[in-house]
């Protein structure tokens, strides 16, 4: 059984995929390998893991404004996430996602860390402002 939660739209679009949940901020500039979509930031909890085609859940972005261009580049290269869910999206992530056409939402009515786990199937409707979660093994 799936659950739908309302949220704020940051970058419009609709996408779905397997959830990749991260409790730490992500710095896209020098933290993500563009050709592979893998996190390359040393010591990061997702180091070595690809964000390609995932619904990437992380609290917010960090680092310099060059991160916007990296978000855009992974979108163009096809190595970026299908969609992004943040607790609070800041300008770095928003700009790159808007330019790259990656759906982004934040300010969910329920804390995403309480209701989404790695491997859940998540649909982000960043047109109507909803996130639908199907728990792993229930789809």
Q: Catalytic site residues?
A: 64
Nearest to 65 by CA among 95, 92, 38, 97: 92
User: Are the C-beta atoms of residues 126 and 105 closer than 8 Å to each other?
Assistant: yes
DSSP-derived letter for residue 32 is B
Cα separation values, 88 from 28, 48, 104, 122, Å: 16, 25, 10, 18
**What are the b/e assignments for 109-123, b being 16+ CB within 10 Å?**
eeebeeebeeebbbb
| Burial class of residue 133 in the structure, from the number of CB atoms within 10 Å of its CB (0-12 exposed, 13-18 middle, 19+ buried) | buried
């Amino acid at each position: 059984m799936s659950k739908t939660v309302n949220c704020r739209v940051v970058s419009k679009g609709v996408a779905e995929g397997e959830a990749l949940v991260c409790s730490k901020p992500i710095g896209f500039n020098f933290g993500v390998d563009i050709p592979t979509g893998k996190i390359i930031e040393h010591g990061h909890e997702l180091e070595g893991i690809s964000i390609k085609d995932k619904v990437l859940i992380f609290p917010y972005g960090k680092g310099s404004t060059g991160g916007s261009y990296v978000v855009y580049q992974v979108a163009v290269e096809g190595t970026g996430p299908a969609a992004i869910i943040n607790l609070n999206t800041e300008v770095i992530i928003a700009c790159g996602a808007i330019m790259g056409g990656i759906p982004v939402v934040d300010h969910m009515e329920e804390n995403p860390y309480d209701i989404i786990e790695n491997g859940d199937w998540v649909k982000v409707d960043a047109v109507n402002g909803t996130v639908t979660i199907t728990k792993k093994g229930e789809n």
